[in-house]
Structures are given as structure tokens and as C-alpha cells.
Amino acid sequence: FLEDDLVEDSVGGALLGLEFYRRHREGDPLVIASGPLTGALVPTASSSVLTARSPLTGGVVHASVTNHAGPELKFSGYDVIIVRGRSPRPVYLWVHDEQAELLDAGDLRGQDPAAITRTVRDRQGDDRVQVLSAGPACVAGSLASSLSVNGWASTDRAAVGALAASKNLVAIAARGMGELEPADVDGFGPAVLGLMARMRSYRAPEGYRWDGHRLDPARRAIAPFVHRTRGCFFCSSSGRPYLMLDEDPSMMERSERTAPGVMVSDLLPLGDLTAAGMDGRAIGEVTRATYALGLDPCRAASAVRRAGAGDLASALPVLEALATGEGAPTRGGGMHCWDLGDESGGHQAFVRLGVFTPANPPLVPTEGATGAYRLLVLQGISYILGMCPAGAVGAGIEATSIAPVVEAATGKGLGAD
């Protein structure tokens, strides 16, 4: 059980993860911590937070774990998971219903993340098991690698996946039947409805601009292949298109193919792929190949654009080289970020702060370092409370708007600090 004083001081999410990282620093830990709102029926409350020393930057970083994996870790009965040291053999951590087991994963190490996810779910007999996995690029130690969530991309821009693989940790799988009940049952619903009303009227704040139009060509290119769209747990928008590449996108029956397409869980790289001259099919195929290798899709798409690769055949050698470490950034390098049209350098300045992995374009700070710091504060709120940073910042959730929800959910006020 977590000590009351610890929860009072650290709240949750990134702050709680940082506290446990410091306590277990000697074991080079990988910490996953939920926030007080993770898994609550609050828009964008879908995140747990990875905290670890990045093999890329050399510093401690925080990366959001969203989709349905963030809440599932909490529903399994654990607010915090700490992985220390190194296993003598490949294993995956299976957490479920307040139990935790290390299971053999010798046959899974080095497989693509989608295959790891399918195998773990088959072995546990449940298609709703949520799986964080380290793919081939992670196993190779590439600093362009990224942890995957259910076979799709995550917001790990700092090669935390390579750290997991170095520990012989192939995956973390979670499934739980736990439920959350707000402290103030009567006040919780009105507080959430008030937040949603503010979100509907939100506009980009002073000092920022929306750059979403820069992704419009990519959206138009992939439109003929969109089969459906999905959102994360209790997401306020379904912004993740599933592209059907090997079947008719209009089909309603279940495909007999194992993986007939790809769910684009990170829209940001599509701008680079469109700039490389790719059509919708090529965008989908390159995205699927990127995910299969366990690469940071932003880093990969940028490399593909710089190489002038306009289709899968020309992009695949670039991706495969990146997965082995060739052309990947060197230790001490920075994380990749939104760079299309960011004339102010606001996102570059944000990334140089080196704390949170960038996850929230197309909201771009237009005041350079000052805007970057404000963005750091906005994103920090979501990382501490357990909210998707892209969804929360994009929807304009700030301390003043979320405070009534936090108080109703937890029975505690949101302190000024």
C-alpha cells in the first residue's frame, strides 16, 4: 500500500514515478505510475506514466502510456509498478487482479510488437489484455526505438523500450476487473459535465497556434483507406484511424487476415510521410512497417523524408537500418518533435527541457522558450493527474478547469504547487 504522506506529497503519475525512481535509482528502474484520475470517467483520463533514465538523453524522462493500457494497469490492482535490475532470461510481467507474475518469454524476444500482443493474449485467453512490448529495434538497442502499446505506437520518444529490452523484459501485460468510485459520488457527475462544457468552448490560448492544417494533406491521402476510428479510454475524440490495407475498407464483417491494416495511433509522423510524396497506401504501409520494427514513428518518418523515400520499397531499407541503430541518434541526443512549420522553435525548446516526451502537436507555442515553458506546465498537469497529454492539452484542460473534478474524484483539493 502507498503511504498517505507519499500520496499527499507526490499526488500521482510523473511525480509519484519520480519519487520511486529516486528510491530505487541503483537498480536503474523502469517505473509505471498511475495518476489520481487514471481510469476515472473523465475525458482524456487514460494515462499511466513511464518514468526512467532515457538511454537516449541520459536523463530521467516521463512518457505517457495511453490507449486502454494506462487504465488497465490500475484496474489490475496496482498504482505503481517498478522493474529493477535484469532478468537472466527473457520474461514478460503479467499483472492481473492484484497478482503479479514473471512468465517465460524466450520465444517472444525480438518479435514484432503485434505478434507479441497476440501471443500474450492467446496464452491468457483474453483479447482485452493490454500489452506494452519491446520490439526488434528495442532488442537491438537502437536509440530510435520505442515501446509499443498493443502493437501500435506509444509516446516513448526517448528509447525507454531499449531500456526495457536491456533488462530482458519483453512485455508488461495487464488485465483487471477493478472499479473506481469517486469520493464525492453526487458531485462527481456535475464536475465532469462542467469540464466538458469548458472543453467544447475551448480555443488555442494566447501564445499558441493550431497547426493542425499541416496534417490535412495526410488526412486526405489516407481517407480512402479508413475503416473506422478509435479513441483511448474515455477519450473526448476518436482520433485514431484504422487503415484497411489488405481488404476493402468498406467491409463490415470480420477479416480472416491476422493484420489486414494498421491503426495510426500517432498522427504526427504523417506530415513527414506526406512531405516525402507518399500516397495514402504508402503512408499506411510504411506506418505498419515502422510499428512492426518497434521504432519511434516520429524519428522514423523524419528519416524516411530526409532519405527521399516515396514508397514502402524505398523506405524499408531506411527503417531497417534505423532499427539496428544505423542512422539513429547518439547517446546524449535529444528527442524528436514536431518540426513542420514551427518557425518559432517553440517545440524544439520544449524538447530541450528534456522532461516529458513530446505528445501534443499541433498546438505550437509561438513565444520560443517562454511558450515552451508554459507548454511544459500544461503538459505536466496531465502527466501528474493521469490524463492523456495530447488530449488534455489539446482540449485546453488546465489547473483551474480540472480542480473541481480532482476534488470530487479524490476528496482532496488540487494544491497551488
The average pLDDT across 124-146 equals 97
Asked whether the predicted pLDDT for residue 247 surpasses 60, the reply is yes
Asked whether the predicted pLDDT for residue 10 surpasses 90, the reply is no
Q: What is the pLDDT of residue 348?
A: 60
Q: What is the pLDDT of residue 390?
A: 78
Asked whether the predicted pLDDT for residue 307 surpasses 60, the reply is yes
pLDDT tens-place string over residues 330-352: 787 777 665 555 554 555 655 66
Q: What is the pLDDT of residue 211?
A: 61
Q: What is the pLDDT of residue 391?
A: 79
Q: What is the pLDDT of residue 267?
A: 82
How many Å apart are CA 362 and CA 342, to the nearest integer? 10
Q: What is the pLDDT of residue 417?
A: 54
- Ordered by start, the domain boundaries in the chain are 4-175, 185-207+334-410, 212-324
Asked whether the predicted pLDDT for residue 308 surpasses 80, the reply is yes
Asked whether the predicted pLDDT for residue 235 surpasses 90, the reply is no
- The more confidently predicted of residues 397 and 154 is 154
Q: Is the dihedral of CA 219, 220, 226, 230 positive or negative?
A: positive
For domain 4-175, the CATH superfamily is Aldehyde ferredoxin oxidoreductase, N-terminal domain (3.60.9.10)
Asked whether the predicted pLDDT for residue 260 surpasses 60, the reply is yes
Q: What is the pLDDT of residue 201?
A: 75
- The more confidently predicted of residues 416 and 146 is 146
pTM for this predicted structure: 0.91
Asked whether the predicted pLDDT for residue 376 surpasses 80, the reply is no
Asked whether the predicted pLDDT for residue 62 surpasses 80, the reply is yes
How many Å apart are CA 99 and CA 28, to the nearest integer? 23
Q: What is the pLDDT of residue 215?
A: 78
The average pLDDT across 89-105 equals 97
Question: 27: closest CA among 100, 87, 99?
Answer: 87
**Sequence-distant (≥ 6) Cβ neighbours of residue 91 within 8 angstroms:** 102, 103, 104, 105, 168, 169, 170
pLDDT tens-place string over residues 199-212: 877 666 566 666 66
Asked whether the predicted pLDDT for residue 414 surpasses 90, the reply is no
